[in-house]
């Protein structure tokens, strides 16, 4: 049976394997709310914990140091570290960005293992709570768990509010065991995977514990699920979904919103450009309020990360610009990724950054192949 959240919304997962890509969509109360995709033959390494060897120091930063390290792919990669690492040192790191646009991968020497209710930072210390977890829940729960979680650092995720403390402790033990298994590898060469990167399905299951059912588009998709996932997958069924039809809209360069608005997306080498357009006589404030709500959802559905430059309709009044920013903040409240939003200029220009985890939808998914699936081919 499909699980329900505290608000009563039913959450389920739809999975489609299309060629060399796997696409997973989160549906809440019948509405697609988030979509992730990856290549099966060349999957993203974001989230993987791999062995690295420090090549040289790069520079010190406000929070520690930046070093260049060998991650096993032949390209020196920048690694952020809270402490200075000497050349030649072997260290486990977490991949935080795949190579792209001629740039090397990026990593951190402060790896994190994410579960449904906890994030384990083996090189951290103590127990903290996500800013999204209600303090009225976090404080008593932390008091119950603090002395029972074991070594390292721990972060309570927002979903911990609905979890039994014993289930949280069991997850903590499993996360700690995954880290110990990696550490026991003797002198691993650079690139050795200690903890694999999560698939789109695994990531959505971890980020949204209310998912109670998974539906595969066809037998090929179901076979991939059974081969790549473990018992953590909720009840699995096989049959047509609405995912393929909605993917066609998400792959389009233009997206309509409201009565007469349109978002246009154009990926450049350094950022994603988004243009807001509307009918000539439309009220700019009304259009922009609707536009930022549509934009927040598009970021999740298209898995857009990095720098996003938005060209809104011009707003001359500062109070109107503040209203648009407030609406955007509200629309981004449930985004599981970190989003930092700048100010809106009088000309309507807005910059924001969203943590990049894995490829954009259009970088992976073949629209023509999706259309064949939708047509029953």
11-41+200-241 to CATH, choices 3.40.50.720, 3.30.300.30, 3.30.420.40, 3.30.70.20? 3.30.420.40
Does residue 237 carry a pLDDT above 60? Answer: yes
Residue 145 binned pLDDT confidence (cut-offs 50, 70, 90): very high
Question: Over the stretch 56-110, which tens digit does the pLDDT of each residue have?
Answer: 987 766 667 889 999 998 899 999 988 778 899 999 999 999 998 788 999 999 9
Residue-level pLDDT at 221: 94
Q: Is the pTM of this model over 0.75?
A: yes
- Summarize pLDDT for 264-286 with one digit per residue, the tens: 999 998 899 999 999 877 899 99
pLDDT tens digits along 23-62: 999 999 899 999 999 999 999 999 999 999 999 987 766 6
249-361, CATH topology level: Aminopeptidase (3.40.630)
**SS3 readout for the chain:** CCCECCCCCEEEEEEEEECCEEEEEEEECCEEEEEEEEECCCCCCCCCEEEEEEEEEEEEECCEEEEEEECCCCCCEEEEECCCCCCCCEEEEEEEECCECCECCEEECCCCEECCCEEEECCCCEEEECCCCCHHHHHHHHHHHCCCCCCCEEEECHHHHHCCHHHHHHHHHHHHHHHHHHHCCCCCCCCCEEECCCCHHHHHHHHCCCCCEEEECCHHHHHHHHHHCCCCCCEEEECCCCHHHHHHHHCCCEEEECCCEEEEEEECCCCEEEEEEECCCCCHHHHHHHHHHHHHHHHHHHCCCEEEEEECCCCCCHHHHHHHHHHHHHHCCCCCCCEEEEEECCCCEEEEEECCCCCCHHHHCCHHHHHHHHCCC
User: What pLDDT shows up at residue 100?
Assistant: 84
**For the chain, domain boundaries:** 11-41+200-241, 49-111, 113-186, 249-361
Of the pLDDT bands very low, low, confident and very high (cuts 50, 70, 90), residue 377 is: low
Residue 260 pLDDT > 90:
no
Is the pLDDT reported for residue 3 higher than 60? no
CATH 2.60.40 fits 49-111, yes or no: no
């Amino acid at each position: 049976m499909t699980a329900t959240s505290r608000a009563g919304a039913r959450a389920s997962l739809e999975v489609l394997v299309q060629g060399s890509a796997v696409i997973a969509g989160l549906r809440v109360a019948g509405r697609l709310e988030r979509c992730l995709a990856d290549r099966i033959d060349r999957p993203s390494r974001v989230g993987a914990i791999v062995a690295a060897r420090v090549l040289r120091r790069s520079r010190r930063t406000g929070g520690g140091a930046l070093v260049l390290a060998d991650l096993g792919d032949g390209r020196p990669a920048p690694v952020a570290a809270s402490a200075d690492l000497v050349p030649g040192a072997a260290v486990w790191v977490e991949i935080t960005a795949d190579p792209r646009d001629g740039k090397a991968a990026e990593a951190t020497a402060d790896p994190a293992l994410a579960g449904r209710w906890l994030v384990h930072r083996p090189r951290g210390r103590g127990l903290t709570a996500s800013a999204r977890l209600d303090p009225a829940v976090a404080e008593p729960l932390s008091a119950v768990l603090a002395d029972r979680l074991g070594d390292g650092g721990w972060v309570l995720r927002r979903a911990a509010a609905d979890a039994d403390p014993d289930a949280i402790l069991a997850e903590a033990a499993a996360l700690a065991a995954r880290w110990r298994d990696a550490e026991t590898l003797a002198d691993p060469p650079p690139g050795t995977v200690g903890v694999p990167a999560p698939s789109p399905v695994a990531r959505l299951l971890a980020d949204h514990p209310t998912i109670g059912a998974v539906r595969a588009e066809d037998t090929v998709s179901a076979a991939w699920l059974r081969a790549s996932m473990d018992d953590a997958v909720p009840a699995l069924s096989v049959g047509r979904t609405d995912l393929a039809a909605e993917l066609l809209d998400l792959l389009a360069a233009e997206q309509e919103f409201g009565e007469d608005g349109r978002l246009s997306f154009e990926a450049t080498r350094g950022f994603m450009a988004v243009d807001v357009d509307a009918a000539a006589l439309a009220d700019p404030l009304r259009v922009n309020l609707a536009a930022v709500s549509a934009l927040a959802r598009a970021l999740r559905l298209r898995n857009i990360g990095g720098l996003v430059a938005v060209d809104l309709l011009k707003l001359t009044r500062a109070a109107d610009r503040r209203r648009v920013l407030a609406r955007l903040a509200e629309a981004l409240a449930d985004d599981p990724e970190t989003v930092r939003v700048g100010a809106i200029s009088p000309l309507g220009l807005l910059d924001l950054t969203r943590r990049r985890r894995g490829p954009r939808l259009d970088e992976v998914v073949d629209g023509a192949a999706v259309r064949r699936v939708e047509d029953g081919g």
